[in-house]
Structure 1
């Protein structure tokens, strides 16, 4: 059905999800896409963005295509939808060609309401050929900031989405993101070919979330103190995989129940640790930023950033995983003097010299034995650790160099490989039936495999642990243990999934001196990263402006109020009348500068005034960009004040 029918959409919401009504801007977004409009929705973490495309998908004829880079989210949402009786499917790395074709054919036949697909896959000839024969109700672009070079997580594969638009020009696009500056929102709409600008934005205010910065020279002690002071489920974010294990051990030594998580772990290990944390079997998840996307745990009371994230966008999204149940929660950033040097070092790793990038490209060709003038279309599993040992490179620089080479079109660098477990029986079916004295768990797993995956006696085949888990009631870790035991008994051979990056040559290998790295992909992006790093450092160091106001202003919400619960606001409450003094001082500063001249700071902050109040008032006005500063000289930036002054 076309158009928006309030009664119909509310019935779908209630019948499938049990909610009595939409909340926030859900209704506005749903009405917009139902009426066929290209729509951008800015909804902070926990805002309920999945319903903005899932409800229209059930109301409209055809298949809703959902483009997302998050394999874990695809699997979770497909599983959740199927449990509700909604036909959904996903295509991602690790699926066999036969599985992909069958999934796409089901969409053509109209049996699938939602198809989740990674941005890399939409560029394939197979997908685009099948797409021409599909009735598509809606194209949803999740994590839409990834299409913008000004976003904090630009991914070149997102640019492929324009090709879908050319095949299905009349199908509306819904772009969704949790965090985006004004510049990014404009870029998203332009790159997705919106017929006209159309954006709905939820306020980023989180009234129950207290933002705190703890300045300390001993982060370990501060971390232990905070975790022992605040009860409830927690996440601790770090930058490096190695450090997650170190911090996990420290927490264990202090009797704090925890586990750790990063992208390099086996899939079954990640699934089990995520489940244990979600089910409150462990209290603290120590993780890199690989953890959290698509994870819906409402009762997280505490998110701690042990190290500074790259950007305020990343920080806001990760911190926003706390308190999604609406109850009081804390987002704590630990800051020490050494963080500024670490940030500068990180930028160097993110942007190795152009000479180093060319050298890494050449060494990768040696590593895979790809001759100059050949290699186009060839894909290789990439062992970064072995490569770095062989050619004496730093792993972070290699990772960054490959991303830059991908943006320039020399290679495709897929870091989200998610190959399934592959199994082959080493004995025939009759021998298998003769085996006795197996545990009940082993019997259950074997029975499930024989029912669901019959070709495993012929050749290696992929299996779905999720299907076996549903059949047997066992956890994925228990299934993994059974497989390992059967492997040791030589009953079967299994190859567990490995999360290994994949490098594909998108053009024939060129010589190092022929590589061109553009200003846009190097100098401009490096300058952008430096600016974003300065913003996160400013946030950490600024202790006289409400934390919530600092974040909200960064995302364009100028008319915000002090939250009253962050560390800055609580510090002010010790002095009655302080807020009124600051407001009065702000007016005095504007009055002084309204003559249009530059004034020395000594004129602005006479010794007769409370210097802390003066500095705080000036900081507010600088953050609001009402005034500007040139070393010791201040001036009025907002000329409306001059105009008003002349009229008076």
Structure 2
């Protein structure tokens, strides 16, 4: 077995592991089933990549995030590590080729979406795959009591039965005690080996504002804190509206949601990652699997559904360890609307049956058919045609998904595919008969290996660039080649997709697990109460509330959230606090001073009083200390840095 420290240094360039990483890796290498709860950006991937590289065989990585899957596979390839991926929407031939490579090649990682685990084809290959570790990313998705339950995760248990000697590493950024126990239970842990990092983020300042005019407060926050930011909204329409309002105030902003095309989402994301766009206004469709370390601000313009999602989304700020801000804005109406959510999000069984009947009518799907077929699905057209309330229909479909009846994917991208379906002699004759099509034929043959044997993914945009034509011309040429019987061309799918996980049943025979359905509703009510309690609490440390929610009772008050700072200020009158703050900064303008020197100069004898103001100014990055303690030199931050406390 290779040395894990050598693997870390040679592949990632690090000389030491982050806290807890090495313990998790050793647990896995000792063959123990392990649950690792680590904050977003805490280095979860190294916890399975290093032990997989240290062992013979291939690591099976299960993740629902296709974007993350592609990024990690690409990053591993750039390091010279062979990795593969299989996700929803891949053509059968491409899946077969990938599994053959995993079986016979020298590959170390196979990334798989949970839906792929259910297919008979994958199950046929599973016994022969030399799996050394099963890594389950976003492991909270396996729990019905989590905030993002995905039934496909429940099939992971079947892999354990097929590979009983292979350890499992489950990874998540957040999980309550109940969810932790459920993860271990559903993944058939032999023993509970749980590692939980502290939920404390010492560089992240949490603030909550009850404001009737959110836009004014949002502008104030964004103008006060320089650098990259994210603004989360509940609706797609609001993302565009707010982005346009920010642009009117000369702030570089764009919007993002799942209803945009694949190309638009990619372009917007790239512009933000490269800092061409400063602020991304988005729904929760944005951010999963995106690792941008220098995000300075995450603002929730609408109150989120639960603390789990808030912690994960807010945690995208400050991954580089620099001072950053997580801001939540809400109105009293937001609270009232949130309290109504459990009844809206859990429609009656009769409503679910009605939406199911409308759905099969919309798709023109006969009873006894439809299993594993992808259907294009336009929610707006569907609800308009059948005169359904959009929210009611959405949550009825969500209920059908959680009952493992259907799978609904708003961001499924299936690339275009081409396979030649004629002999070489026919193709040579076609080149003579249709000279205008010849350049495209030659480009396809030259650029895509195996295109005579299997349907291979192709890019119309790339072909157009190579032939110096428009993408629309290339699509037309490919359609002509198909009409002449030379190729089979499947244009890409970029619309939301619905897949029936079993054949359609007669609506009167539709059933759901009512007890579990009601229990999930009760869990949502608890989550709603928790996030409302967090928002309305003006006494306790906001960072500590979050940590306690996740059963981390060792967390101390952070000292830098809005409530902590207000508590410090409250011990002095506002006027006295402001005067002392002005006196301290004026004295430090002349150069660094120790606390004792500062007290003598200002003729202050009460050390606690001056420390309250000093701690506030330190928390706001307004001043800095050369070292801790009374002997430390205190100075104004260096010229060129932000010298205004970022209170909003």
TM-score, normalised relative to structure 2: 0.80
- Residue 635 of structure 1 aligns with which residue? none
Change (3 A) 1:480 1:504: farther
Question: What are the residue-to-residue correspondences of 1:392-403 with 2, within 5 Å?
Answer: 392-403=387-398
Change (3 A) 1:545 1:446: farther
Q: State whether residues 268 and 480 of structure 1, in contact with CA within 8 Å, keep that contact through their aligned partners in structure 2.
A: no
Change (3 A) 1:89 1:433: farther
Change (3 A) 1:209 1:447: farther
SS in 2 for 1:58: helix
Note the C-alpha offset of 1:479.
Answer: 9.3
Q: State whether residues 486 and 492 of structure 1, in contact with CA within 8 Å, keep that contact through their aligned partners in structure 2.
A: no
- 2:356 counterpart (361, 372, 384): 361
Unaligned runs of 5+ in 1: 437-442, 579-648
SS in 1 for 2:44: coil
- Residue 253 of structure 2 aligns with which residue? 258
Which range moved further: 535-544 or 557-566? Answer: 557-566
Note the C-alpha offset of 1:482.
Answer: 6.0
Note the C-alpha offset of 1:256.
Answer: 0.8
Pairing 1:107–2:126 present:
no
SS in 1 for 2:35: strand
Change (3 A) 1:388 1:572: same
- Residue 504 of structure 1 aligns with which residue? 500
- Residue 67 of structure 1 aligns with which residue? 62
- Residue 71 of structure 2 aligns with which residue? 76
Partners of 1:479 and 1:162 in 2: how far apart?
Answer: 47
Q: State whether residues 151 and 401 of structure 2, in contact with CA within 8 Å, keep that contact through their aligned partners in structure 1.
A: yes
Partners of 2:448 and 2:185 in 1: how far apart?
Answer: 46
- Residue 620 of structure 1 aligns with which residue? none
- Residue 415 of structure 2 aligns with which residue? 420
- 2:520 counterpart (517, 525, 532): 525
- 2:168 counterpart (167, 173, 176): 173
Partners of 1:485 and 1:174 in 2: how far apart?
Answer: 46
SS in 1 for 2:569: coil
- 2:7 counterpart (2, 9, 12): 12
Note the C-alpha offset of 1:380.
Answer: 2.6
- Residue 380 of structure 1 aligns with which residue? 375
- Residue 151 of structure 1 aligns with which residue? 146
Which range moved further: 395-404 or 135-144? Answer: 395-404
Change (3 A) 1:503 1:95: closer
SS in 2 for 1:273: helix
- 1:486 counterpart (473, 478, 492): 473
Q: State whether residues 233 and 282 of structure 2, in contact with CA within 8 Å, keep that contact through their aligned partners in structure 1.
A: yes
SS in 2 for 1:132: helix
Q: State whether residues 24 and 47 of structure 1, in contact with CA within 8 Å, keep that contact through their aligned partners in structure 2.
A: no
Partners of 1:485 and 1:303 in 2: how far apart?
Answer: 39
Question: What are the residue-to-residue correspondences of 1:312-351 with 2, within 5 Å?
Answer: 312-351=307-346
Q: State whether residues 372 and 499 of structure 2, in contact with CA within 8 Å, keep that contact through their aligned partners in structure 1.
A: no
Question: What are the residue-to-residue correspondences of 1:464-475 with 2, within 5 Å?
Answer: none
Unaligned runs of 5+ in 2: 421-426, 481-489, 574-648
- Residue 569 of structure 2 aligns with which residue? 574
TM-score, normalised relative to structure 1: 0.80
Note the C-alpha offset of 1:432.
Answer: 9.6
Partners of 2:123 and 2:151 in 1: how far apart?
Answer: 18
Note the C-alpha offset of 1:515.
Answer: 2.8
Partners of 2:191 and 2:177 in 1: how far apart?
Answer: 16
- Residue 161 of structure 1 aligns with which residue? 156
- Residue 628 of structure 2 aligns with which residue? none
Partners of 2:12 and 2:306 in 1: how far apart?
Answer: 35
Change (3 A) 1:349 1:503: farther
SS in 2 for 1:199: strand
Partners of 1:305 and 1:264 in 2: how far apart?
Answer: 20
Pairing 1:118–2:113 present:
yes
Q: State whether residues 421 and 497 of structure 1, in contact with CA within 8 Å, keep that contact through their aligned partners in structure 2.
A: yes
Partners of 1:550 and 1:205 in 2: how far apart?
Answer: 10
Partners of 1:431 and 1:232 in 2: how far apart?
Answer: 59
Note the C-alpha offset of 1:109.
Answer: 1.3
Paired residue total: 557
| CA offsets 1:236-289 (integer angstroms, 9 cap, x no match) | 111112221111111111111011111122112111111110000110111111
Note the C-alpha offset of 1:114.
Answer: 0.4
Partners of 1:226 and 1:204 in 2: how far apart?
Answer: 24
- Residue 599 of structure 2 aligns with which residue? none
| CA offsets 1:430-451 (integer angstroms, 9 cap, x no match) | 7998799xxxxxx9x9997553
Change (3 A) 1:491 1:37: closer
- 1:276 counterpart (251, 258, 271): 271
User: What RMSD in Å do the two structures reach over aligned CA positions?
Assistant: 3.0
Partners of 2:196 and 2:501 in 1: how far apart?
Answer: 40
- Residue 585 of structure 1 aligns with which residue? none
Note the C-alpha offset of 1:325.
Answer: 0.4
- Residue 637 of structure 1 aligns with which residue? none
Which range moved further: 256-265 or 448-457? Answer: 448-457
| CA offsets 1:588-636 (integer angstroms, 9 cap, x no match) | xxxxxxxxxxxxxxxxxxxxxxxxxxxxxxxxxxxxxxxxxxxxxxxxx
Partners of 2:227 and 2:63 in 1: how far apart?
Answer: 31
- Residue 643 of structure 1 aligns with which residue? none
- Residue 347 of structure 2 aligns with which residue? 352
- Residue 540 of structure 1 aligns with which residue? 535
| CA offsets 1:298-349 (integer angstroms, 9 cap, x no match) | 0000000011111101000100000000000000000111111221343333
Change (3 A) 1:76 1:431: farther
| CA offsets 1:27-83 (integer angstroms, 9 cap, x no match) | 001001011111000000010000011111111111100000000000010111111
